[in-house]
Amino acid sequence: MNRPLPRPLLDVALDGPIATLTMTRPGKRNAMCDELLAEIEAFFARPPEGIRVAILTGSEGHFCSGLDLSEHVMRDAESTMRHSRNWHRVMDLIQFSGLPVVSALFGAVIGGGLELAASTHVRIAEPSALFQLPEGRRGIFVGGGATVRVGRILGADRMCEMMLTGRSYSAEDGHRLGLAHYLVGEGEALARARQLALQIAENAGLSNFMMIQAISRIDDMSRQDGLFTESLCAAVSQTSRDAEEGLRAFLEKRPPRFR
């Protein structure tokens, strides 16, 4: 007897240079499980040819409610550390694959969902978006990179208070604090994400790659190391074929046609 194949938890729709990735776990508020994380990893490890920007979003009114605690498996310290490090690896892959990622946020952006959103480069929130790191109120600690990514956005002091109290931030508060870059009306996040993705896709691929790879790393460096790294990026980008095309397009008063 043939068994039906399991339904993918990540719907991938390709449209020109844009790939839209939609997490689909009905009734689970798109809570993260190992299978969903693996499907996200598989896309960013080998993006389809011709894709220049990815949009990441959820379904049924929610982005992602974090780790699926109903599927929680008791692990020893070593297994827990390895599980956490796997999350770090996948979040790094999203942030540093070289593909710009725009996230459309609504409903739950909680725990691991906020860690996932923080690994994207452009974040758009609808009024229903709710940002929270509830791990501290559940006797556990974040393990998907929040102390680095969310902590960089909020600052260590505010993130510590957020975890100690379990407080949640509304979409408006999240926008004010930098958890979201754009605040749009209800039902408008995906359209705005596509508009921005198309705009980003028009950039030179090398410039996008360097912005993704260099800026956050420069933030980790000393002032002088950061300035030197900036000079290296400028030297490579400004002597590329894309730079020649950009200058030629400017002089000819036309949009550039990058590779």
**What b-and-e string marks burial along 101-135, b requiring 16 or more CB atoms within 10 Å of the CB?**
bbbbbbbbbbbbbbbbbbbbbbbbbbebbbbbbbb
Under 8 Å CB-to-CB from 30, ≥6 apart: which residues? 23, 24, 36, 58, 59, 60, 62, 63, 64, 65, 108, 113
Q: How far apart are CA 7 and CA 158, in angstroms?
A: 40
Q: Determine the 3-state secondary structure of 206 from DSSP.
A: helix
* Active site (catalytic) residues: 115, 135
Helices (H), 77-220: 77-96, 112-118, 146-154, 156-165, 171-177, 189-201, 205-220
Of 124, 123, 99, 117, residue with least CA distance to 212: 99
φ and ψ of 86, to 5 deg: -65, -40
- C-alpha pair distances (Å), 140 with each of 134, 135, 136, 151, 159: 9, 5, 6, 17, 15
Q: How far apart are CA 138 and CA 136, in angstroms?
A: 5
Q: How far apart are CA 108 and CA 213, in angstroms?
A: 29
